[in-house]
Structure 1
């Protein structure tokens, strides 16, 4: 029997010390490259305490806004129905009435219905309309009285636009509504917050 030695068994693996100079240089470059790369780190934030009181922002009162919008739409629809019925009784369509081609005569039935709508307790009375306008202003501001001037200016602008549309002057009932709105708005501003 003859034994032949296995050459692979005599080849020892190189250790770190036995590496060539080029391999050592490559290893050093790789290690330096890794060390120079920016690494993501978690740095917990620190909350800063405010030294002043910050009033929380007021949020609009959406349920009240939605209620007022629904009421307004109902009143508008009733008013439109009153006009439609008046025109139908006279055989006039809306286009002819708006264009002025045909004269519209307010009959007794329409006059009484309109009088009820704008009269005391009616949905278009100065008292009810002024309540709705001030309630809306309060709701849209979230009750934030610091917005008083902004709200007042917007309401004044709306009444001024109505004046322009009506030839420069408000009818007596609209002027009364405006006066009540300003009175109630000022009262709301001066109320002591609870």
Structure 2
């Protein structure tokens, strides 16, 4: 499950990587064209260089950061699921697949021991790992790592996050907890800020200008 949407965002990586390879192929083609031009010059053909200069910045995914963040997210999620499984097992609850765990949690038909409650409260506190601030920032950092900071990919990452959030809501079996919605809002504001800093217009800013 991906309540925080990181998994949903990572699904866009394969698509982005494919697009990147396509760009590299085009670059190689330009290099070949340049070689042909040089050859033409050696045979006496006059080459008129274009007055246009290419200053397009290249963006590359931060693969090291991506791997590190994915590993951390998987470890933390596994830790959380293990805690929940132990708690439910003690209560005699059974489940046949991963989604059953979240269905049981969303139903509210369980009790929490003092130790589990204390750990959960610490994790979802404002400064906790699963708190709104840290979770939303991780998602935004992950999106930046995926795109290499390419401003043209901001909306693509926003869409990937929204897709992941919808999937998480479906898996949960209803409306997600309030903290998840607050995290969603924080991430959306973060994407808005990224777009604003890049001088891009979002649907929200367009409405404001109207």
Counterpart CA distance in 1 for 2:173 and 2:90 is 29
Aligned residue pairs total: 149
Moved more, 157-166 or 113-122: 157-166
Deviation per CA, 1:95-123, whole angstroms, max 9, x where unpaired? Answer: 4993999x643222222221111112211
Q: CA deviation at 1:92?
A: 4.5
Counterpart CA distance in 2 for 1:140 and 1:92 is 39
Alignment match, 1:135: 141
Q: CA deviation at 1:131?
A: 0.7
RMSD over aligned Cα atoms: 3.0
Q: Which residue of 170, 177, 184 maps to 1:178?
A: 184
Give the 3 Å change call, closer, same or farther, for CA 86–168 of structure 1 in structure 2: closer
Provide TM-score, normalisation by structure 1: 0.64
Counterpart CA distance in 2 for 1:119 and 1:152 is 25
Is 1:125 the counterpart of 2:96 in the alignment? no
Q: Which structure is higher in RCO with an 8 Å CA cutoff and minimum separation 6?
A: 2
Structure 1, unmatched stretches of 5+, are 1-43
Counterpart CA distance in 1 for 2:88 and 2:169 is 26
Is 1:45 the counterpart of 2:36 in the alignment? yes
Counterpart CA distance in 1 for 2:145 and 2:139 is 10
Alignment of 1:1-194 (within 5 A): 45-46=36-37, 51-53=52-54, 55-95=56-96, 98=100, 104-191=110-197
Deviation per CA, 1:43-80, whole angstroms, max 9, x where unpaired? Answer: x7215856352524311011211221122022112202
Counterpart CA distance in 1 for 2:175 and 2:116 is 24
Confirm or deny: 8 A CA contact 2:154 2:194 kept in the other structure.
no
Q: CA deviation at 1:189?
A: 2.2
**Structure (1 or 2) with the larger CA radius of gyration:** 1
Provide TM-score, normalisation by structure 2: 0.60
Give the 3 Å change call, closer, same or farther, for CA 96–130 of structure 1 in structure 2: closer
Counterpart CA distance in 1 for 2:93 and 2:165 is 31
Q: CA deviation at 1:154?
A: 1.3
Confirm or deny: 8 A CA contact 1:121 1:128 kept in the other structure.
yes
Structure 2, unmatched stretches of 5+, are 1-34, 39-46, 200-210
Give the 3 Å change call, closer, same or farther, for CA 165–80 of structure 1 in structure 2: closer
